[in-house]
A and B are shown apart, each in its own frame.
Chain A
């Protein structure tokens, strides 16, 4: 029964969180956006004391339910492990905790976190790792499916679906997502929750609390005959059936063992009753079994893969286009990257962002994409080759669970300078094609561009743009709509710290 409740709740949570990354229309965020905001590290970064306390209390009362119901990466591993279980039954075995690794990773994580090494934090953080998988891999499948529907809708004169561009926003992040997916798939297929119990810093923190949890699965020594069935079905490898002991720091309260036990010897009960049994089994036998060796190897291969994929520095490739003689725009060389309005400053974004890709999946204008810079790897940054930051849109700021992009209104947005436009004379069609243009000035939402005659003495000479950087908000309308290709004649330089007009 408890197991069924857990599975139902987990399925709902997992589906909805995944859909948050897939739904490009933004409707789902309105209802279920909070699911991203209760994720442990994001909510910690957002300094949401209420939710952090609630998660602590939840764990203190029920154990690591968070890991088996709320964390999408955990459930993702459960699904893979469940499929693997169809092939091979009773495939797990108890293995003692590898403390040095768990606490070592946690320490490294905290150091990286404090030291501002965002990319390392992002790599280890479970929710973000799942976000990258969902937004890079699942979203593409979802969007292709949508495009097939849109294809038919178009032929039926229906506007229920519209087609969207599917493109690789950053080859580096995409490779990391694939690597993450593979690593987790292999780990979960072979050993269930290895990652959660040896590497995951959130798991380590919650495990520390769940050691003292009020409710917990408990082995009744009088009933137990030591058959070991429970430990062979424990994906967390935390039941030492020989010693009748459960390592509560690693138990994710999945309730699988309760149903497995043929003698009904395991119960999910409050702590007092179990005091005796616990004392009786409070002995720790450290031994290095084969499993630990395997998991360490796995861990090493994970890191190896990560480092390898970060080295893979591929250029932005456009997926499809079909429009042969309009050249694709190229990313200009920006001295300062542009970060979305609400992020306040490059530093604030770097410190708070866990690179979960939620904002990037939500951006309807194809402006946000993961950074390729090593220090801010996979964190969002803006570029205007495919669209510009439209004045009516504040989606990224509304979906961000970590407070890296703080919520803003449309009115706020129209007054935040995230950058300023720069004109490049040699690219401008006034010079290259000898025509009048002014498309930048026509589309500037803040009226920051004025067209003036190129020759001050001749009033009807071709007009060139002059930018009022005090009024420019850096939205990129000018850059995106500039007819010069592949490099626009006007482009936006980011501001390290956003200013208010």
Chain B
């Protein structure tokens, strides 16, 4: 995930100086959010404070949850020794470092799932967290029985999560990514798993039971009103872009979901606050707007302040792969500087530009992968979006910079996605479509990208 160029420069500088071993004095160089510094009062400028994290209180248990939660879906990876590039593993030392830094700076909520990172996330998270006393962190994991829906398989998954995470209770447990009644029925009702989960809650092995939503409004209403379960929390996708925008095949805005939860006094846990990193590196027009308003803040910090400013939000999850992401995000929440009306106006304008740019609404969650025909679906979308956002989109042969933009697009395309994994190899089997939580019509988008690339190649 690429951040803005300024950040890149800083990161490089940062890494260079880090080599010198002067960590504390150099974090200043990492996309620092001056606002949080100022509001922090007498914090030494540039330091990521260890004691200024904003916390929210969970109404049922009274737990104090850090407003920034750690999403464990994007742990750093490294290639296995003596294996091909395809086979990689989680870089456990890097995970431990990130977790240590996060806990030292006040983060106490960790969200994982048995299927994240090719199924390796829970184990890595467990190894890192089990080095701390159990009351120092809250763990959330999920019933991710998307592909193994039988009762036996689901129970195996449930009990295995205890083993992997090395715990004897879950603080938060979720019905994972449901969006339509049919799927919900098959995964949780017919096999009796929902009843089982409620019993586990009574038994205290699940302290809070909730569900994560990607789907249709009707289903959300069903879960809220008719499912007959008292939900302790609900995990929804929310960010300033989704707040009032309804895209693709979904028919519900984040504002609606949030308001419904607030009405019922159910805390919201936020996922995709950065829209899979897209809000950390928005289009160039949006970048200019934000930099004009506040030259020192990272683009990501705007998105975090937006979601964090909503009072019914319990925690905002961010999948932080790199130390620099973690540090920048910590600054946005230590403490949180709520958005002003003026800031909100600006974000509305930013949203407008994003609609103009017609990005593909992919968050890079990898749920669609692996594609049986070898395509790198998120990689393709990321390259396409990035070129759109940087204004390097050669769609008119009469454009002044057509030739350079064409070259940049085609060469960049081959660099970011190997030829055999590009859009022209999509057969349109639609196997991916049911897996996409953003309801992107992946085969249609592939045809669109393919046609676009073909045009570029022909019009040299």
Residue ranges of A at the interface with B (Cβ–Cβ < 8 Å): 154, 159, 162-163, 322-326, 390-392, 429, 433, 435-439, 442-443, 481, 483
B residues in contact with A323, CB < 8 Å: 86, 374, 418, 420-421
A residues in contact with B412, CB < 8 Å: 159
Number of interface residues of B (CB under 8 A): 31
Stretch at the interface among B130-138, B245-253, B426-434: B426-434
Please report which residues of chain B, range 189-247, place their CB below 8 angstroms from some CB of chain A when the two chains form the complex.
Answer: none
Q: List 7 A-B contacts (CB under 8 A).
A: A159-B407, A323-B86, A435-B429, A436-B427, A436-B430, A437-B429, A443-B424
Q: Is the CB of A162 within 8 A of B411?
A: yes
A residues in contact with B428, CB < 8 Å: 436-439, 442
With contacts A322-B85, A437-B428 known, what are 4 further pairs, Cβ within 8 A? A159-B411, A162-B415, A163-B415, A390-B457
Q: Is the CB of A322 within 8 A of B84?
A: yes
A residues in contact with B373, CB < 8 Å: 483
A438 and B421 in contact, given A154-B415, A159-B412, A324-B86 (Cβ under 8 angstroms): no
Asked if B168 is an interface residue, CB under 8 A from chain A, the answer is no
Q: Is the CB of A325 within 8 A of B414?
A: no
Q: Is the CB of A392 within 8 A of B427?
A: no
A483 and B85 in contact, given A390-B457, A442-B447 (Cβ under 8 angstroms): no
Q: Is the CB of A433 within 8 A of B429?
A: yes
Asked if B13 is an interface residue, CB under 8 A from chain A, the answer is no
A437 contact from B86, B427, B447, Cβ within 8 A: B427
Please report which residues of chain B, range 417-460, place their CB below 8 angstroms from some CB of chain A when the two chains form the complex.
Answer: 418, 420-421, 424-431, 447, 450, 457-460
Question: Can you list the 4 inter-chain pairs with the closest CB atoms, starting with the nearest?
Answer: A435-B429, A437-B427, A326-B374, A162-B411
Q: Is the CB of B86 within 8 A of A325?
A: yes
The chain B residue sitting closest to A162, CB to CB, is B411
Most chain B CB within a 10 A radius of its CB, from A159, A322, A429: A159
B residues in contact with A326, CB < 8 Å: 374, 420-421
Q: Is the CB of B84 within 8 A of A162?
A: no
B residues in contact with A481, CB < 8 Å: 424-425
Q: Is the CB of A159 within 8 A of B408?
A: yes
Q: Is the CB of A438 within 8 A of B457?
A: no
CA distance A391 to B460 in the complex (A): 11
Q: Is the CB of A439 within 8 A of B411?
A: no
The smallest beta-carbon distance between B370 and chain A, in angstroms, is 8
Q: Is the CB of A162 within 8 A of B414?
A: yes
A429 and B427 in contact, given A159-B408, A322-B84, A326-B374 (Cβ under 8 angstroms): yes
The chain A residue sitting closest to B414, CB to CB, is A162
The chain A residue sitting closest to B460, CB to CB, is A392
CA distance A437 to B85 in the complex (A): 29
B residues in contact with A429, CB < 8 Å: 427, 429
Q: Is the CB of B458 within 8 A of A391?
A: yes
Interface string of B29-73 (1 = CB under 8 A from A): 000000000000000000000000000000000000000000000
B residues in contact with A325, CB < 8 Å: 86, 374
CA distance A439 to B447 in the complex (A): 10
A483 and B425 in contact, given A322-B84, A325-B374 (Cβ under 8 angstroms): yes
CA distance A439 to B430 in the complex (A): 13
Please report which residues of chain B, range 371-430, place their CB below 8 angstroms from some CB of chain A when the two chains form the complex.
Answer: 372-374, 404, 407-408, 411-412, 414-415, 418, 420-421, 424-430
The smallest beta-carbon distance between B369 and chain A, in angstroms, is 12
B residues in contact with A483, CB < 8 Å: 373, 425, 427
A residues in contact with B87, CB < 8 Å: 324
B residues in contact with A391, CB < 8 Å: 458
A residues in contact with B415, CB < 8 Å: 154, 162-163
The chain A residue sitting closest to B408, CB to CB, is A159
CA distance A159 to B390 in the complex (A): 15
A residues in contact with B425, CB < 8 Å: 439, 481, 483
The smallest beta-carbon distance between B295 and chain A, in angstroms, is 22
B residues in contact with A322, CB < 8 Å: 84-85, 418
Q: Is the CB of B374 within 8 A of A439?
A: no
Please report which residues of chain B, range 337-389, place their CB below 8 angstroms from some CB of chain A when the two chains form the complex.
Answer: 372-374
The smallest beta-carbon distance between B448 and chain A, in angstroms, is 12
A residues in contact with B431, CB < 8 Å: 435
B residues in contact with A390, CB < 8 Å: 457-458
CA distance A433 to B429 in the complex (A): 10
The smallest beta-carbon distance between B428 and chain A, in angstroms, is 6
The chain B residue sitting closest to A391, CB to CB, is B458
A436 contact from B85, B407, B429, B447, Cβ within 8 A: B429
